[in-house]
Amino acid sequence: MNLKNGTEYIESLRKLKPIIYYKGKKIEDVTRHPATAPHVRAAAMTYALASDDEYRDLATATSHLTGRTISRFTHVHQNIEDLIKKIKLLRILGQKTGTCFQRCVGFDGINAAYSVTYEIDKKCGTDYFERLKQWLIGIQDKNLMVVGAMTDPKGDRSKGPADQPDPDQYLHIVERRPDGVVLRGAKLHMTGAVNSHEILVMPTTAMDERSRDYAVVCAIPVDAPGITMIFGRQANDDRRDKLERIDVGKPAFGAVGGEALIAFEDVFVPTDRIFMDGETEFASLLVYRFAAHHRANYGACTTGLMDVLTGAVSYLTQIQGTAKASHVRDKVTEMIHLCETLYCSSIACSAEGQPTPSGAYLVDTMLANVCKQNVTRFHFEVARLALDLAGGFIATLPSQYDLESEDVGHLVRKYFSGVKDISTEDRIKIARLIEAMTGGTALVESMHGAGSPQAQRVMILREGNLDKKIKLAKALLGIPQRVKAKQGE
């Protein structure tokens, strides 16, 4: 692997020249700017674990393309063991960062594109699969971070891509040349975009033949001409921007994933980096497989975050002298129960995975949707229990400036103290951590990341195999099975 540790990853970002704006001003160095540096450090943890003897087996893999050791985040799943190791790795990373470490979307996009391009080639006689493999070997050997770019702005959501008054509301091809294509449009909410090396563009929905120009999968460097990113605001970002180390909650690793709008203004993509161009019938399959992989993740990375939150609130109850109360112990027990239940979902959909025609493994799609549906409920309940146990002072804490004030600092230290021998500053720090993990973008990510809750419910009903369940009930009661009439009878 070219980039062997977190330091090398950070140094590699300084060599790139992407155009990034935040609060109306251009960011010159994402590794040093207070808005983006925490997210860089979170992603750097994925590199650090790969060079750590304790975690190397989970954080690295052997490339089936080259036989070389690579980051697991650039790997194509070859068996159930790969799927399960991924889940274990994501939970550990969640525990170590307390936030999103941002490489999962690109990881899942690689796996979805790998299996789908194989099937496009088999049916259409294209050479997308070979192009993708050659691109992927470069990603693996250099250990580059890839941002998966799927979500389009969508404009008028009652209309599909081809019917939008503004065609740019879905990313699309505006020109085809002998040596490549030109793209225009945007992708929204792209996690880790500003600190990635490459963008993997994917369609966001099923498409008909009229939407041929929108059915595109391709890879683009983040600093390619015509790419502009706008970094999103997050809860309490003014505290972070002003380097308020106590009030920010998670000063080392940031709030969530560092999401950005990526605008494509006539961006040229050479032919060898195009992996789908107009094959609309495969757009839904790619979205389907990507979503399954990505929804499986949430029962792992989110449980890592929930581990941290459970530990934080448990420590706070010790500081406040309430840890031994029976109702406190019961609520902490429920937090642990919900966390482990989610983890079971991720493990289960991985253990039930099956190979696609390409040989790459796909998680059980039904169980992956159930996993993500549970995330949209359990994470909120764990957050509610954490806030219940923490108490109302989390919402009314004085600032770091008050704590350090010569005039009133002694009052803050006195009246926000807890049990003896634990500093007021520690109590405030742990409270701010709970605040950061239970508000703002953290829970929005759990709700809408990898698709809204309704998207999972649609898939759960679609894959619920109700006909089979009806037959089971009828068979138990001896009710004859009706044979469906043939068409035309």
Residue among 198, 244, 279, 445 flagged as catalytic: 445
- Alpha-carbon span 295 to 446, nearest angstrom: 10
Q: Is 301 a catalytic residue?
A: yes
Q: Is 100 a catalytic residue?
A: yes
Residue among 9, 114, 118, 298 flagged as catalytic: 298
Q: Is 46 a catalytic residue?
A: no
Residue among 198, 244, 259, 279 flagged as catalytic: 259
DSSP state of 152: -
- Alpha-carbon span 138 to 303, nearest angstrom: 32
| Residue 229, strand partner residues | 20, 262
Q: What share of the chain is helix, strand, coil (3-state, %, to 5)?
A: 55, 15, 35
Q: Is 298 a catalytic residue?
A: yes
Residue among 39, 77, 294, 379 flagged as catalytic: 294
Going along 317-433, which residue ranges are E strands? 354-355, 361-362
Closest of 189, 282, 176 to residue 230, by C-alpha: 189
Q: Is 339 a catalytic residue?
A: no
Residue among 301, 339, 349, 371 flagged as catalytic: 301
Residue among 74, 77, 100, 244 flagged as catalytic: 100
Q: Is 317 a catalytic residue?
A: no
Closest of 293, 221, 251, 241 to residue 436, by C-alpha: 251
Number of H helices, E strands in the chain: 16, 14
Residue among 33, 104, 151, 356 flagged as catalytic: 104
Q: Strand, helix or coil at 2?
A: coil
Q: Is 191 a catalytic residue?
A: yes
Residue among 46, 74, 97, 191 flagged as catalytic: 191
Q: What is the DSSP string of 171-227?
A: -EEEEEETTEEEEEEEEEEEETGGG-SEEEE---S---GGGGGG-EEEEEETT-TTE
Q: Is 376 a catalytic residue?
A: no
Q: Which residues participate in catalysis according to the annotation?
A: 100, 104, 191, 259, 294, 298, 301, 445
